[in-house]
Amino acid sequence: MKNLSVSMCLALALCSPLVMAKTEFPISAQQQAETDKFFALIKSGNELNKAQDYIGAEIEFRAAIKLEPLNGWNVAAYPGLAEALGSQNKTSEAIEVYRLLLSPVNVTRNNCSGDPLFMMNFAALLNQTGQYDEAARIAGKALAGDSDSMFMLSQLRFDPKNPRQDQFQAAVFVLQGFRYGSDGENKSAMGEYEKAMRIAPDLEVAYYYYGLGRQKLSPAERKQYVTAQQAKTALKKR
């Protein structure tokens, strides 16, 4: 499964006392060097994930984990590793990492459980491997909250006889579009909405957000994209 998360659940880990080690408490020069290398590897891994070099990203994140700065309590490398593994179709390994991050001992060290994109990626992997009940539960957590998220959840189908992996993956694309749009990368957001519409042409929520995203473009950019209704008509004719 292609997992396209540019996960925000790294944020809390990066705000942890580890980053502030120089001012919070004294550490040795070697520990500081390892800490600096640790975060350099994470930055490199995130950039490789964004460039879709998932093999390279996995190498960087695993190297960061081996450093184990300050006894290895910091889990900042794992969200990116989960993305890299899922994107290589290393599904069972990716699921292990998701479970590790959401385990009771680690859930307070990151904010992954509050990141809809991270959680929906996990739900999609679970659904892909036939763990439908848990997939539905995790998706519910991913999309609980505002009315837009609840609208998306209502569009997904959790029938074990027809698990609709395409809709889970389309939801990932839509959430990735949210992420790009919130960062001002509107054309990248449109690309994600287009992928969602193509993979699940009957998922109404994808057209809805495509239409909203198109309105954020400049008049010149808008001409490059058909309207949501035109896209829906064309895709449903396939």
Last residue of a domain, one of 112, 132, 161: 112
Say whether both 100 and 193 belong to one domain: no
Q: Which residues contact 15 (CB under 8 A, 6 or more apart)?
A: none
Model pLDDT, residue 89: 94
Model pLDDT, residue 23: 37
Model pLDDT, residue 35: 84
Q: Are 225 and 234 in contact (CB under 8 A)?
A: no
Encoded tokens for 167: 């809709």
Last residue of a domain, one of 71, 96, 112: 112
Say whether both 145 and 222 belong to one domain: yes
Q: Which residues contact 51 (CB under 8 A, 6 or more apart)?
A: none
Model pLDDT, residue 13: 42
* CATH code for the domain of 155: 1.25.40
Instruction: Pick left, alpha or beta for residue 29 (phi over 0 → left; psi -120 to 50 → alpha; otherwise beta).
Output: alpha
Say whether both 101 and 192 belong to one domain: no
Say whether both 53 and 20 belong to one domain: yes
Say whether both 172 and 72 belong to one domain: no
Say whether both 233 and 220 belong to one domain: yes
Say whether both 7 and 65 belong to one domain: yes
Distance set, CA 169 to CA 63, 194, 211 (Å)? 29, 12, 19
Model pLDDT, residue 19: 37
Amino acid found at 120? M
Reading the chain (238 residues) residue by residue, the pLDDT tens digits are: 554 444 445 444 432 333 333 335 577 888 888 888 988 999 999 999 989 999 999 999 999 998 875 445 568 889 999 999 999 999 999 999 999 999 888 877 778 888 888 999 999 999 999 998 899 889 888 888 667 777 777 777 767 677 788 888 898 999 889 888 888 899 999 999 999 999 999 888 889 889 999 999 999 999 999 898 888 888 877 6
Say whether both 164 and 210 belong to one domain: yes
Nearest to 191 by CA among 217, 171, 210: 210
Last residue of a domain, one of 63, 97, 112: 112
Say whether both 228 and 121 belong to one domain: yes
Say whether both 90 and 29 belong to one domain: yes
Q: Are 113 and 137 in contact (CB under 8 A)?
A: no
Say whether both 77 and 24 belong to one domain: yes
The whole domain housing 166 covers 115-238
Q: Quote the pTM value.
A: 0.78
Structural domain tally of the chain? 2
Say whether both 41 and 154 belong to one domain: no
Distance set, CA 156 to CA 1, 54, 70, 168, 209 (Å)? 18, 28, 42, 7, 15
